[in-house]
């Protein structure tokens, strides 16, 4: 089956592009991967969305965009793209469960996935005491002591979310300074349940009878190892772009972000565009994702009209 436009990725950027392209009559296909959209499903309350005085619920926003795109005529298929051929048009994609798909224009909006620490005990306890998503796992740490690892905006958001569930939250940061925005830091510092432990490098997850018992850290100032008790550990140390399937097909930077021409969503391959976090090393904000989704749709529409 050949499409005029295909969007890989069903997050804010992808659905924004879909709404624009569907309205322009390009009948886009949106390919939604098997795992949930990282940014918005882990950001429950978006309190800074301009124009929404009482904020807006992240998953609800995404769901509304999904429905809106479908109402305008976008088609959504679920499955992971595992192979691409971008050497000539129509571009060819292979998708689990759907086989080969061809398209004249392509938008990459696959976002990012949470990074892991890579320390002993982490991978085997994922979903069994270790999590990268508080809204997905908070229920299991009701009235328990938990640790959030990281000092960026993601870590602050995890801590805020967990206050409704856990009895105590310790934010463990490897350096002396938090990296999170001042606004979020101030919000978290007001929460009585949240404590901060700075200059602690995580070294090992301590297994428990059921799940985990805590975290071993190195105190960066004294060099001593310390044992921190916890029944849940939330790793929030940043994310990496979902571009494995594009390696050797599209220019990526050394961290795997798609390279676009400054001020546009154009990649090195005419007809292939990228938007959202997958091409944004610097800002990675909800509003930027939405804005770049709109740009990708306009760039792609213009390209289609000229071929
Ligand atoms: P960041 O890269 O901003 O922060 C990562 C944090 O994890 C840092 O504190 C870093 O420590 C720590 N870290 C990294 N690697 C390790 C490691 N191996 N062991 C221990 N600690 C580690 O990532 P975020 O996901 O927090 O944010 C990414 C982007 O997304 C930012 O631009 C942020 O503004 C944005 N964002 C915005 C939100 C919002 O506006 N509400 C919500 C979530 C994210 P160190 O500082 O020592 O390097």
pLDDT, the chain, mean: 94
How many C-beta atoms surround the C-beta of residue 123 within 10 A? 12
**Cα 79 to ligand 1 centroid, rounded to whole Å:** 29
Structure tokens at 246: 């594009």
How many C-beta atoms surround the C-beta of residue 80 within 10 A? 17
Which residues does 235 contact at the CB level (< 8 Å), separation at least 6? 114, 115, 116, 117, 122, 130, 131, 132, 149, 150
Q: Is 11 close to ligand 1, i.e. is its CB under 6 Å away?
A: no
The model's pLDDT over 261-283, given as tens digits with 9 standing for 90+, comes to 999 999 999 999 999 999 999 88
Average pLDDT over residues 140-166: 96
**Residue among 153, 178, 197 whose CB has most ligand 1 atoms within 8 A, to mutate:** 153
Least confident span in 14-23, 121-130, 132-141? 132-141
Q: Are 41 and 133 in contact (CB under 8 A)?
A: yes
Q: Is 30 close to ligand 1, i.e. is its CB under 6 Å away?
A: no
**Cα 236 to ligand 1 centroid, rounded to whole Å:** 7
Question: Does residue 1 carry a pLDDT above 90?
Answer: no
Residue 137: pLDDT band by 50, 70, 90 thresholds? confident
How many C-beta atoms surround the C-beta of residue 186 within 10 A? 11
Residue owning the nearest CA to atom 34 of ligand 1: 153
- Phi, psi (deg, nearest 5) at residue 241: -70, 145
Question: Does residue 39 carry a pLDDT above 70?
Answer: no
Average pLDDT over residues 74-91: 97
Residue 48: pLDDT band by 50, 70, 90 thresholds? confident
pLDDT, residue 43, reads 59
Q: Is 46 close to ligand 1, i.e. is its CB under 6 Å away?
A: no
Question: Does residue 81 carry a pLDDT above 60?
Answer: yes
**Cα 149 to ligand 1 centroid, rounded to whole Å:** 10
pLDDT, residue 44, reads 65
The model's pLDDT over 184-236, given as tens digits with 9 standing for 90+, comes to 999 999 999 999 999 999 999 999 998 999 999 999 999 999 999 999 999 99
**Cα 74 to ligand 1 centroid, rounded to whole Å:** 34
pLDDT, residue 285, reads 86
pTM of the model: 0.85
Point out the ligand 1 atom lying closest to the alpha carbon of residue 239: 25
First vs last C-alpha separation in the chain? 19
- Phi, psi (deg, nearest 5) at residue 30: -105, 125
How many C-beta atoms surround the C-beta of residue 285 within 10 A? 15
Q: Is 75 close to ligand 1, i.e. is its CB under 6 Å away?
A: no
C-alpha 209/C-alpha 262 separation (Å) is: 52
Q: Is 215 close to ligand 1, i.e. is its CB under 6 Å away?
A: no
Go through the domains of the chain in sequence order and give each one's CATH number: 2-113+239-306 (3.50.50.60), 116-235 (3.50.50.60)
Residue 112: pLDDT band by 50, 70, 90 thresholds? very high
Q: Is 157 close to ligand 1, i.e. is its CB under 6 Å away?
A: yes
**Cα 179 to ligand 1 centroid, rounded to whole Å:** 7
């Amino acid at each position: 089956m050949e499409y005029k436009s295909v969007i890989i990725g069903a997050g804010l950027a992808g659905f924004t592009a879909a709404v624009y392209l569907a309205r322009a009559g390009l009948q886009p296909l949106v390919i939604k991967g098997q795992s949930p959209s990282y940014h918005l499903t882990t950001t429950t309350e978006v309190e800074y969305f301009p124009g929404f005085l009482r904020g807006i619920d992240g998953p609800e926003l995404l769901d509304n965009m999904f429905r809106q795109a479908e109402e305008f005529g976008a088609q959504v298929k679920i499955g992971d793209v595992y192979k691409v051929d971008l050497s000539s048009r129509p571009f060819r994609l292979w998708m689990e469960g759907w086989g080969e798909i061809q398209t004249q224009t392509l938008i990459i909006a696959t976002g990012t996935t949470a990074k892991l620490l890579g320390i002993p005990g982490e991978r085997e306890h994922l979903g069994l005491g270790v999590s990268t998503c508080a809204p997905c796992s908070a229920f299991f740490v009701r009235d328990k002591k938990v640790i959030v690892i990281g000092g960026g905006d993601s870590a602050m958001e995890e801590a805020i979310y967990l206050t409704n569930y856990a009895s105590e939250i310790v934010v463990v940061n490897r350096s002396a300074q938090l990296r999170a925005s001042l606004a979020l830091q101030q919000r978290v510092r007001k929460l009585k349940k949240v404590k901060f432990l700075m200059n602690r490098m995580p070294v090992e997850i301590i297994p428990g009878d059921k799940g985990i018992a805590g975290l071993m850290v190195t105190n960066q100032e004294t060099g001593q190892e310390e044992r921190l008790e916890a029944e849940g550990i939330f790793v929030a140390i940043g994310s990496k772009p979902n571009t494995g399937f594009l390696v050797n097909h599209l220019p990526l930077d050394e961290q795997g972000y798609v390279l676009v021409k400054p001020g546009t969503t154009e990649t090195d391959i005419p007809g292939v565009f990228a938007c959202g976090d997958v091409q944004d090393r610097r800002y990675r904000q909800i509003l930027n994702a939405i804005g770049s989704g709109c740009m990708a749709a306009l760039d792609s529409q213009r390209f289609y009209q000229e071929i």
